Structure 1
């Protein structure tokens, strides 16, 4: 039996037994088709040694190098051939290995193989990307990169079949990190721009209460109590291939109750009024799904479409790009910046442990970091006032008091600090 034959049998059994989520199974099938099948499908199960499995990742490295070379090419046609394609990074490679390990673990339990070679394959540690704030300097650098890429696309001798869309160029322009976070001013600019959009309440809910995309799309009116200011995240909608299916929350801790602030409650009540008007407008053809957020005719939203709609609103608002899920990162950052402790923020996000919150969602905004630094300096009493840089170019000069009384008076004062830089939509 070859690995490809065992794989087909394993997938079919998973579908029959339904012992893993369909979305998870699709998450296994995707790397199989993209990276694993071409290398391992024809290999006999008793020949799956470590060097054989390593060839999967050798092939990935070769594809990555070719992709990077094409991006750096002076030929616009070559660059166009890899537009929209991404390298397969360490985190993704870890997931690919995990896919092979999962299948071989079943084979080992069934005595089809004597050991799992995937366990012994060494890969670069996959570190999850940390959130990076869109500061003013990063926004300006991104804008220049976008304009340069747009000009190159317009000057390309080989024109694409479809008309050039500025949004697509903007979306494909590299960002400082896969996980980007807006400043409060940028978030405010987006919310102001999107205030008249029919899905404004969904984006507001994600931005301030940290719901996941699927949880927001799957939220039902019966799960909420606007008078009490709570919303239970009991269901989520997920894309399974081209279909949208209802499922349970991501983890056991995700199935919890989210506290709603007064502003969010008011936003949801206004959304209910809008939805009722749409219900009356559509009449008998309205589809009553019970969802808080729906299409105009009441049908369920497609999560992928909700993400693209969010990105198009962001582009139209003239803001730097972030993913819809990055609003969740921003909600955590805003919570911490507002003075909430890690445990409170972790509970809002419904993480299984505080350490997960600390690892993933503790992006500190530049303004908050500066205020913390100023507060730290203010705690230290000084007998001398730090002046301007000395003429020698060395350490800053200091002004000594003329007598003990003046020194005591100087020591009683707090250091003079300038006002914090005000946030703008372009960054802080």
Structure 2
């Protein structure tokens, strides 16, 4: 990057010039989120500011004032950080001002709380078509724990009938202009997911009359499904409330919650945390442990133990009386 000594570029100029470089580092879905974050937050805040004039406090102030959910604000911070990294490589600034930003503390997400229980899984199956490509696609997410784009990217040849596994090596999604983009998985690693007995007939049906390189779970016309056309075909916005509802202020049921469901069920089926991590493709065991539901298991065990302990005391008597006297005798 060659610039005159007095020609320090603005954040907007750097973004416009090097957006192709930034986009090349990330997945198509992430790129769409970053582009939106630039238009709605980063650009209005910093586009006209010379890159060497931005301080960490400026970034923290902008983060506090940006609208939207925390995740969308984090996307905006990531976009700005990428631009600053470009400036560092161009020797325009010595350090990234985004690196020292203190984000507000948030309660950890609980993906297990987003998972469907058995009655909810049954309701999901009831709202789906009785057969056909859309039902097979949704079952693909539910049985494998794959992300939606990963299911869309599966080919017939990815199924290994000898080992009863499916190789997950790519994701298929729509690009910025609606074009099909084939890329690596989020973790950029190939992994294997199980082919459980109930899922076998679904995969057999999906593979019929197809070549090894054909899509395993395409739409009815053979094209790749994405969240938009899948939701539209199933009228998902109107029927998902029949499957599971959440408290006011929480987002409604998402397709990604089927991944949460599958990983939670794997723990309930007895898989170890390292096994679930390998199937899920998580980068760390800490991420996987969030699905283990250990807090609920501990609470259930505590409920049984405390119920047995307190039972002789008769403390459930709403009128007090003898129960109150017995409690007093015990020094409670």
* TM-score normalised over the length of structure 1: 0.62
Once the two structures are TM-superposed, the CA of residue 369 in structure 1 deviates from its matched residue by 6.9
In 2, Cα distance between equivalents of 1:248 and 1:207: 21
| Cα deviation digits, residues 82-127 of structure 1 (max 9, x gap) | xxxxxx2333323322221221122123221233322333331355
Cα offsets for 1:308-347 (capped at 9, x unmatched): 5456287178323511110111112222223333223223
Gaps of 5+ in 1: 65-87, 134-179, 280-286, 400-428
Equivalents in 1 of 2:118, 2:35: separation in Å?
A: 39
After TM superposition, list the pairs within 5 Å mapping 1:116-135 onto structure 2. Answer: 116-125=96-105, 129-131=109-111, 133=113
Q: 1:234 to 1:118 in 2, by over 3 A?
A: closer
The answer to whether the Cα contact below 8 Å between 1:90 and 1:126 also exists between their aligned partners in 2 is no
TM-superposed CA distance for 1:9, in Å, is 1.4
Name the residue aligned to 2:45. 39
Find the counterpart in structure 2 of residue 9 from structure 1.
17
**Superposed counterparts of 1:391-402, under 5 Å:** 391-392=319-320
Q: Which has the higher contact order (CA 8 A, sep 6+)?
A: 2
Q: Is the 8 A contact 2:112 2:260 kept in 1?
A: no
Partner deviation per Cα, 1:18-74 (whole Å, 9 max, x = no partner): 4544544443322111101112111122322344434533541xxx4xxxxxxxxxx
Give the alignment partner of residue 146 of structure 2, picking from 199, 211, 217: 211
In 1: Cα distance, 2:179 partner to 2:62 partner: 30
Deviates more, 1:331-340 or 1:382-391: 382-391
Any stretches of 5+ residues in structure 2 without a counterpart?
1-8, 245-251, 328-332
Aligned counterparts of 2:240 and 2:167: Cα–Cα separation in 1: 32
- Determine which structure has more spread, i.e. the larger CA radius of gyration: 1
2:179 equivalent to 1:243: yes
Q: Which residue of 1 aligns with 2:263?
A: 332
- Normalized against structure 2, the TM-score is what? 0.78
Q: Which residue of 2 aligns with 1:184?
A: 118
| 1:196 pairs with 2:130 | yes
Q: Is the 8 A contact 2:172 2:183 kept in 1?
A: yes
Contact kept, 8 Å, 1:229 with 1:260, in 2: the verdict is yes
Q: Is the 8 A contact 1:189 1:317 kept in 2?
A: no
